[in-house]
A and B are shown apart, each in its own frame.
Chain A
Amino acid sequence: MATLTRQDLNFGQVAADILCEFLEVAIHLILYVREIYPSGIFQKRKKYNVPVQMSCHPELNQYIQDTLHCVKPLIEKNEAEKVVVVIMDKKHHPVERFVFEISQPPLLSISSETLLSHVEQLLRAMILKISVCDAVLDNNPSGCTFTVLVHTREAATRNMEKVQVIKDFPWIVADEQEVHMEEAKLIPLKTMTSDILKMQLYVEERTQKT
């Protein structure tokens, strides 16, 4: 992550950095709360000054990091519309979709000094909401897997297919099966608006999970 010096502040990059960090924490937390992986692989780490559960498994961490590394350029250019964490059952039908709708406000500026602490506060609230989301969601069947989809605006995906941002980590167009979910219920979780970032988090849940 680039250090912020006064000279080379690139606001788009800053916003993308913040968002990707948050998404990493959020994905780990979703995996923990929805019990996709056994809780033994998670350990408490600190982010935004609160404890969060992050996985220790190196391959899982690497996968999530590579995923977000590829997503970051899209976010910088404001081409990413949604980042979706899809939880699928054994037959690869989605059971739950955690949708992070992202947009950047047109006038991106990091003016106030308290902006970053304000953003931290909002992100903390998001994390809290993810932690308690199991109250509003039904339990998942066992043996679920997850994947991350990115919905982009316009034709940004064509570039992604041509240029492999990370070697041996190709992105492909998602199957219809993974994208669409039958009988979906929409459960909004949290919305946040700040000077550098706007994000909405909601969950689409299949009515019948088993």
Chain B
Amino acid sequence: MDDLYLDNIDEFVNDQNKIVTYKWLSLTLGVHVNIAKQMLYHYLQQKRNESSGTPLHATYLVSGKCVENGSTCHKVSVVREDKLDAVKAKMDMTISVHVYSVQRAELKDSSPLYNTDYDTVKENLKNCNKYSAIRCAAAVSLSSAELQRAQEMALVPPVEKEISKPGLNENTSATSKPSAKQPAGIMGMFASKNASKSQESSKEVKTEQKEDSSLVETSKSKTASKANPMSNFFGKSAQKKADEKPNKSIKEEMDGSSTALATASMKQSQTSPKSEIDIKEEQSKVSNALKVESKDTRNKTKRPEVVDCDDEKMESQQKKRRRIKKPQPDSSDDEVVPDSPPVPNVHTPSPKKQVTREPVSHQEESSEVKRRKRRRVLKSNTFVDEDGAFVTEKGYVSESYSESEEEPEPNSQAKDSSSLKQSFGKRKEEKKEKSQKKTSTANKPTKQPSIMGFFKKK
């Protein structure tokens, strides 16, 4: 092979100040990953021998067997050059070491490593394992007919599931659902292929509801499951700006699920870098899982998919929940009557304790049938206004419960509801209301901003 590649790498590293990972190099130059690794190694040798010019830094991928917490495990990690020897020494047996990346900058953390690969892999989603060393003949994309069938099947159950559980907070659902789903997901993977595939395709359906139709159209199941987390995240970031909390919890869940995967997959040794937590952090692990998905062999193909399923399903369910809830403030039904009976119980002019206890129980009921309750709440508000002060009060109180219910929901909904409530609130002028609302807000301090804004209007 001629040495032009050395010039290429030189240009990337020195002139463009890029981080050249072996994966990026293989996709850019169109060579097998092992060749890319060798190229990087030769380049490094050459430059180091020259001992002139700008200093180069490198990271290595080390994999080997080591004993952690009493059990032997196969550890794969990306380490900086200066820590390479220390990590190698800690391992009982080093199975493979190769250059992971070459760059001029001394990286303080591993995020840029993930960042460099992200776009090239996304562009080559369909064939990102073209140059990979890991192959699985059984891993083929679903045909479009199968895909549609799976989508239709999967569409119905998740929708039902969502309607039955509307009360879950976004945050708690993000944390609880995926954690509940992880064992289910991994067990489910053992149980049936169809489930995982239908889950993936259900995400596709949900993403189709989003703007990124282009991604969905061009992708089949495997690639779709890859595209989905990305398009889900785009949709999320496009819609919901800077909402890092749910992202963070999702990320933590992804981390959690990927550690579950890693420990479960200990036995399978020759895998592409499913790096553990040395320097490359857990997000990159999951991202590797996502990216590496199509590269993985046999059982592994399902595991990353399961990870995707969990995350995507949670994501898309959250999205779906959001979408379903949005129209609610606009369309109000006329089921006022059923709501009013419980309301007087909740809301009698009474010592604070009673009121604080009531919101909790009231909340629980409404958590199950959240959407409907909310609608009724708003409606009862209007109804109530026309009648008089006390009735107005009732309407407000039930409102606040639903509002605090949906506190972790997207700001849009909170804003819709709070704007509606503010417009109703202008007509209300009871001190009692204030005191009771204060007690109800005391239960949900995080909801204060919108409710306090309500007070200030008075």
Q: Contact check: which of A4, A45, A49, A132 meets B248 at CB < 8 Å?
A: A45
Q: Contact check: which of A1, A21, A135 meets B411 at CB < 8 Å?
A: A1
Q: Contact check: which of B107, B115, B214 meets A50 at CB < 8 Å?
A: B115
Q: Restricting to A3-21, which residues have a CB under 8 Å from any CB of B?
A: 3-5, 17-18, 21
Q: Are A131's CB and B234's CB within 8 A?
A: no
Give the nearest-CB partner of A50 in chain B: B115
Q: Restricting to B212-260, which residues have a CB under 8 Å from any CB of A?
A: 212-214, 230-231, 233-234, 237-242, 244, 247-248, 251
Q: Which of B67-75, B98-106, B164-172, B365-373 contacts A (4 or more CB under 8 A)?
A: B98-106
Is there a chain A Cβ closer than 8 Å to B426's Cβ? no
Chain B residues contacting A48 (CB-CB under 8 Å) are 237
Q: Chain B's nearest CB lies how many Å from the CB of A166? A: 16
Q: Restricting to A112-138, which residues have a CB under 8 Å from any CB of B?
A: 113-114, 116-117, 120-121, 124-125, 127-129, 131-136
Chain A residues contacting B231 (CB-CB under 8 Å) are 117
- Total count of chain A residues near the partner, CB < 8 A: 39
Q: Contact check: which of A24, A39, A53, A134 meets B105 at CB < 8 Å?
A: A134
Is there a chain A Cβ closer than 8 Å to B109's Cβ? yes
Q: Chain A's nearest CB lies how many Å from the CB of B331? A: 16
Give the nearest-CB partner of B414 in chain A: A3
Q: Chain B's nearest CB lies how many Å from the CB of A18? A: 8
Q: Are B119's CB and A121's CB within 8 A?
A: yes
Q: Contact check: which of A50, A54, A134, A136 meets B118 at CB < 8 Å?
A: A50
Chain B residues contacting A134 (CB-CB under 8 Å) are 105-106
Q: Restricting to A151-182, which residues have a CB under 8 Å from any CB of B?
A: none
Q: Chain A's nearest CB lies how many Å from the CB of B455? A: 19
Q: Chain B's nearest CB lies how many Å from the CB of A137? A: 10
Give the nearest-CB partner of B412 in chain A: A3
Chain A residues contacting B105 (CB-CB under 8 Å) are 131-135
Chain A residues contacting B281 (CB-CB under 8 Å) are 44, 51
A135/B244 contact (C-beta < 8 A), A4-B239, A49-B118, A127-B115 known:
no
Q: Are B19's CB and A46's CB within 8 A?
A: no
Is there a chain A Cβ closer than 8 Å to B193's Cβ? no
Is there a chain B Cβ closer than 8 Å to A33's Cβ? yes
Chain A residues contacting B108 (CB-CB under 8 Å) are 32-33, 39
Q: Chain A's nearest CB lies how many Å from the CB of B105? A: 4
Is there a chain A Cβ closer than 8 Å to B211's Cβ? yes
CA distance A198 to B7 in the complex (A): 32
Chain A residues contacting B247 (CB-CB under 8 Å) are 45-46
Chain A residues contacting B410 (CB-CB under 8 Å) are 3
Is there a chain B Cβ closer than 8 Å to A52's Cβ? yes
Is there a chain A Cβ closer than 8 Å to B298's Cβ? no
Q: Restricting to B87-125, which residues have a CB under 8 Å from any CB of A?
A: 103-112, 114-116, 118-119
Q: Are B214's CB and A1's CB within 8 A?
A: no
CA distance A161 to B376 in the complex (A): 48
CA distance A48 to B242 in the complex (A): 10
Q: Are B112's CB and A131's CB within 8 A?
A: yes
A51/B411 contact (C-beta < 8 A), A132-B103, A133-B105 known:
no
Q: Are B111's CB and A117's CB within 8 A?
A: no
CA distance A53 to B112 in the complex (A): 11
Give the nearest-CB partner of B244 in chain A: A45
CA distance A21 to B241 in the complex (A): 8
Q: Are B238's CB and A53's CB within 8 A?
A: no
Chain B residues contacting A46 (CB-CB under 8 Å) are 244, 247-248, 251, 283
Q: Are B248's CB and A128's CB within 8 A?
A: no
Is there a chain A Cβ closer than 8 Å to B199's Cβ? no
Q: Are B239's CB and A114's CB within 8 A?
A: no
Q: Chain B's nearest CB lies how many Å from the CB of A12? A: 15
Q: Contact check: which of B104, B213, B233, B415 meets A135 at CB < 8 Å?
A: B104
Shortest beta-carbon contacts, A-B, top 10 = A3-B412, A135-B105, A135-B104, A132-B105, A1-B241, A51-B111, A131-B112, A116-B238, A50-B115, A128-B115
Using a CB–CB distance below 8 Å, which chain B residues touch chain A?
A: 17-19, 54, 103-112, 114-116, 118-119, 211-214, 230-231, 233-234, 237-242, 244, 247-248, 251, 281, 283-284, 410-412, 415
A-B contact pairs, 19 of them (CB 8 A): A3-B412, A39-B108, A45-B248, A46-B248, A46-B251, A47-B237, A49-B118, A52-B111, A113-B213, A116-B211, A116-B238, A124-B115, A125-B119, A128-B112, A128-B115, A128-B116, A132-B105, A135-B103, A136-B17
Apart from A51-B110, A131-B112, A135-B105, what 14 extra A-B contacts exist at CB < 8 Å? A21-B241, A39-B108, A45-B244, A45-B247, A47-B237, A47-B244, A51-B111, A51-B281, A116-B237, A120-B234, A120-B237, A132-B17, A133-B105, A136-B104
